[in-house]
Amino acid sequence: MNAAPQMIGLRGELLHDEPMSRHTTWRIGGPADRYYRPADIDDLAEYLSQLPEGEPVFWLGLGSNLLVRDGGIRGSVIATSGMLNELARIGDNCLRVEAGVSCAKVARFAARHGLTGAEFLAGIPGTLGGALAMNAGAFGGETWRIVTALETLDRHGGRHHRAPDEYEVAYRHVRGPVGEWFVAAELQLAPGDTAAAQARIKELLARRGETQPTKQANAGSVFRNPTGDFAARLIEACGLKGICEGAACVSEKHANFIVNTGGATAAQVEALIRRVADTVEREQGVRLVREVHIVGEAL
């Protein structure tokens, strides 16, 4: 582990050598040097302001869409889930949502307040911060279509207010000011019927349960869908459903999911991702682009 900086005046919880397997939906990952659970945005700004200049910083939501290698993460992991958790209605049809709020909670809150347009968020197994970082989408909806304002923190704890047009946004891609991270956003929705919105959310969650391996440890879709096609269709066409590397297996339920059947390592998952991509390219002539982020050090 890197030498720990001396931190003063913090209100959050700082853990050392924290196993990331406790915090990822794949239940995989080596230790983080430092794992910080901030009390709120101001406390997080204070933590960032005290970090050494060269300290790597990694932001973590619910731990979906993420593979942490078996050697763990050097530097600081900022845990937003359950911490940056303020969610409020502002104005008639707008929500202010902090980065640690789960997407599913945003969908339910909006519906309960008679607002529509956020139902698709119920199908995203992560936090709003993660959804903002990658323009996450589900069931035809995309996060940035409803974003009207953003709040960020920079490397030194400075707070910034940003407009959506300051970012380059595309399918599962977001690029903006370097060295800043999302801590909150304002979402513009439309007035609607609470019962209808809640019924739509229920329908989307039922569809997700029917088509995805929600009862097994996974990280969501592994590959992006190629233009005009589906990664799952290409993988299934190659006969790859059910193949394994150790305890990491391509789901029998949905070919674009890899499941941890018990005790899988990051190395096994990464090897399986390469095997699937190589096979699809060889047999289908399409090079799949990984959607899952791979971070940390190998053993």
Strand bridging mode 190-191 / 159-162: unpaired
Strand bridging mode 31-37 / 13-19: antiparallel
- The catalytic residues are 172, 221, 291
Opening angle at CA 289, ends 76 and 164, nearest 5: 65
Q: What is the dihedral of CA 126, 172, 35, 147, to 10 degrees?
A: -70
- Let me know: does 282 contact 53? Beta carbons within 8 Å: no
Strand ranges inside 171-228, DSSP E: 173-175, 180-188, 190-191
Strand ranges inside the chain, DSSP E: 13-19, 31-37, 57-60, 66-68, 73-79, 87-90, 94-98, 115-116, 137-138, 141-142, 147-154, 159-162, 168-170, 173-175, 180-188, 190-191, 244-245, 248-250, 258-260, 293-295
Q: Which two tokens stand for residue 213?
A: 């391996």
Residue partners of 58: CB distance under 8 A and separation at least 6: 32, 73, 75, 76, 77, 78, 295
- CA distances, 8 to each of 12, 48, 51, 189 (Å): 11, 12, 11, 41
